[in-house]
A and B are shown apart, each in its own frame.
Chain A
Amino acid sequence: MAVQPIIQIRGLVNRFGTQVVHDGLDLDMNPGEILGVVGGSGSGKSVLLHTILGLRQATAGSVRIHGKDITSMDRAQMLDIQQRWGVLFQSGALFSSLSVLDNIQLSMKEYTRMAAATREGLANLKLQMVGLPLSAGSKFPAELSGGMVKRAALARALALDPPLLFLDEPTSGLDPISASEFDELIAYLRNNLKFSVFMITHDLDSLFNICDRIAVLVDKRMVVGTLDEILANTHPWIQRYFHGARSRAALGVKE
């Protein structure tokens, strides 16, 4: 394929003392796809995300984003990459001292020169996109419900129209209705705005319904494939994960 992967990880090793979390992990993510990342608790999903985001220095290996290695990057290059991704943290991580609208506008203020009114209009547009009422903009994170926090955090992640979006368990803690609405929202936005989504999730419904491919973190490495390929995989952990009672139920719903 001639298309350059948007994320390309080669031979990634992460080690804490004697404990090896990743051992020669490879992963390619194509532009425009929604990649679901699964793995057992403690399998190193968060460590992987932190490594890709540059929050953690890998023990060995390379991580390329937009074709550039983030492990050997100066500040200016990193800043450029950082402005072209959006991250939705598991708990939202909205800045509690800023209103929702200010949260969304924070990076716009820092990195673009726009009239204040335009910026606010744009922030309101993001609110509208994620399905929040405009009155939510003046609220503070502590005043929002769990589902609204996730939506507001998504709006903040989308602030600079990034081509790459990281979602860390976006539907955890949401009721099934809100969770499936959130899934639909992500799929809808991706289909219309053409960005790539790297999504860590435990939600089998999201995996089966909106992910184009699934990456499974087992034995310190990645097993990547479409849903059907993963379902056909014979690894015992993958078998148990995707053929357990919950999984069969979710699959049944889909079919």
Chain B
Amino acid sequence: MTYLHVHKSAEGIRVEVTGDWTIANAAGLEAELDTLPLQLDIPVCFQPGQLTQLDLTGAWLLWRKVKELQDQGQQAELANFDSKHFKFLDDLPEPQEELEGHHLPGLRAGLAGIGRFAIREKAQNAAALAFLGRIFSSLVRVAPHPHRWRFKDIAHHTYATGIQAIPIVALIAFLISIVLAYQGADQLARFGAKIYTVNLVAISVLREMGVLLTAIMVAGRSGSAFAAQIGFMKINEEVNALSTMGFDPYEILVIPRIVALVIVLPLLTLLADLMGMVGAGFLSVYMLDLSMTQFFHRAIDSIGLNTFLVGIVKAPVFAFLIGFIGTMRGMQVSGSAESVGQQTTNAVVQSIFLVIMADALFSVVFSWIGF
């Protein structure tokens, strides 16, 4: 043993404490204390030997061991230490309270978990409804007063969510139409209907892919940004500051963002549609051996104004959903930086989910009315 030397004598066991009793050696100290050869009926006394260093951790390990031995009914003591640490430990007030732990047994814990989840979901839905209400009440209040429309904020958010998104949205639309054209051409070639690839790409990009991918891209870019920006302002009490100065945080923070998205997403969708067609044309000419003229005829034959409108009409709705979820999650941030991360994740996941769900609904409705 390096830290403890045991000397047995007639009157009891004397343990010499030597070496560096510091937190750096804690593991070794603990191991030696645990393996001390002691007997319950023989008194033990710890004394400083060649003790070179003693810090609070070392003192505590020793002090705890003595307490433990005393609790087992053994005579144990610390003698001749000139350190204040032991007195400090003796003088510490008792812990003020015990850890309250109410652990439910397995099955009941599971049931309680489901219950808690249900209650939380109910509260969240109510909160979402209330948030929607506040948005509309703020809108109604602001709408008759053009000087309160905050054009500057709207312009700023239009730039951040729209202009800056142009390159990535354009690129994605171009690439996805190439993917569609490739897969379509392979399958349709088996029926000798390769030319219909143009129909396939034009219709799916204009009706679905253009708007859907743009909305998902915007949800990832801007929905998350909204949640994080507002969330940080919430933590920094900026939102409270606005309220106490008599401003409506919804009017200043929420509405300009949603309005900007509602303006921007249809425009981005238009761009995505265009780039999708460019991609399809590019592929038709270089891979399907169609001439530019053939591609144009085919494309114009297969699509009508309807095809385009079916896509673009969905954009403002998707934009509202993304803006609504993003700003709401931002406003729901509370307390810590952890919460900002959580709500940002929620914002992205839920807005994408809602966008796809709304898209499904649109499909059903459009097929009913034969649009």
- Give the A-binding residues of B (Cβ under 8 A): 22-24, 26-27, 30, 55-57, 60-61, 64, 84-85, 87-88, 92-93, 95-100, 334-339
Question: Which chain B residue lies CB-closest to A141?
Answer: B336
Q: Tell me the minimal C-beta distance from A52 to chain B in angstroms.
A: 22
Residue A145, interface by CB 8 Å: no
Interface positions, chain A 127-178, Cβ under 8 Å from B, are 128-129, 131, 133-135, 137-138, 140-143, 160-161
Given contacts A125-B60, A133-B96, A134-B99, 14 further A-B contacts (CB under 8 A): A97-B337, A112-B24, A112-B27, A113-B27, A114-B26, A114-B30, A122-B57, A128-B95, A134-B98, A141-B336, A142-B338, A143-B335, A161-B23, A192-B87
Which listed residue, B95, B97, B337, touches A96 by the CB 8 Å rule?
A: B337
Contacts of B24 in A (CB 8 A): 111-112
- Contact call A192/B95, Cβ cutoff below 8 A: no
CB–CB B336/A96 < 8 A: yes
15 A-B pairs in the complex with CB atoms less than 8 angstroms apart: A96-B338, A97-B336, A111-B24, A114-B27, A115-B27, A118-B26, A129-B92, A133-B97, A135-B98, A137-B99, A140-B338, A142-B334, A142-B336, A143-B335, A193-B84
Q: Is A121's beta carbon under 8 Å from chain B?
A: yes
Q: B87: which A residues are within 8 A, CB to CB?
A: 192
Question: Chain A 187-204, CB within 8 Å of chain B: the 1/0 string?
Answer: 000011110000000000
Chain B residues within an 8 Å CB radius of A108:
23
In the bound complex, do residue A97 and residue B338 qualify as a contact, i.e. CB atoms below 8 Å apart?
yes
Q: Within the assembled complex, what's the spacing in Å between the Cα atoms of A55 and B161?
A: 36
Residues of A in contact with B (beta carbons under 8 Å apart):
96-97, 108, 111-115, 118, 121-122, 124-125, 128-129, 131, 133-135, 137-138, 140-143, 160-161, 191-194
Contact present for A118 and B22 (CB under 8 Å): no
Q: How far is the CB of A84 from chain B (nearest CB, A)?
A: 10
Q: Given the complex of chains A and B, what is the CA–CA distance between A53 and B110 in angstroms?
A: 48
A125, A129, A133, A140 — most chain B CB neighbours (10 Å): A125
In the complex, A191→B27 CA distance in Å? Answer: 27
Enumerate chain B residues within 8 angstroms of A135, measured Cβ to Cβ. 97-100
Tell me the nearest residue of chain A to B27, going by C-beta. Answer: A113
* 5 closest A-B pairs by CB: A142-B335, A96-B336, A113-B27, A142-B336, A133-B96
Chain B residue, CB-CB nearest to A115: B30
Residues of the A chain whose Cβ atoms lie less than 8 Å from the Cβ of B60: 121-122, 125
Residues of chain B contacted by A124 (CB below 8 angstroms) = 95
| Best-surrounded residue of B26, B97, B335, B339 (most CB of chain A within 10 A) | B26
Chain B residue contacts of A112, Cβ below 8 A: 23-24, 26-27
**Residues of B contacting A118 in the complex (Cβ-Cβ under 8 angstroms):** 26, 30, 61
Return chain A residues, CB-CB under 8 Å to B334: 142
Instruction: Flag if A192 contacts B336 (CB, 8 Å).
Output: no
Distance in Å: Cβ of A172 to nearest Cβ of chain B: 17
The residue from A142, A160, A192, A194 contacting B23, defined by CB atoms under 8 A apart:
A160
Residue from B64, B95, B336 in contact with A140 in the complex, judged by beta carbons closer than 8 Å: B336
Which of A113, A128, A133 meets B26, CB within 8 Å?
A: A113
Residues of A close to B23: CB separation below 8 A: 108, 112, 160-161
B92 to chain A minimum Cβ distance, whole angstroms, is: 6
Q: Measured between alpha carbons, how far is A242 from B92 in the docked complex, in Å? A: 36
Question: Chain A residue with minimal CB distance to B335?
Answer: A142
User: Which residues from chain A contact B337 at a C-beta distance below 8 Å?
Assistant: 96-97
CA distance A29 to B151 in the complex (A): 58
- In the assembled complex, how far is the CB of residue B57 from the closest CB belonging to chain A, in whole angstroms? 5
Specify which chain B residues have a CB less than 8 angstroms from the CB of A114 in the assembled complex. 26-27, 30
Which residue of the partner chain B has the closest CB to A194? B84
Minimum CB–CB distance for B243 against chain A, Å: 21
Q: Which residues of B contact A137 (CB under 8 A)?
A: 99
A158 to chain B, nearest CB (A): 8
A69 CA / B113 CA spacing, docked (Å): 56
Question: A161-B57, A192-B85 are known contacts. Are A134 and B96 too (CB-CB below 8 A)?
Answer: yes
Q: Shortest distance in angstroms between A139's beta carbon and chain B's nearest beta carbon?
A: 11
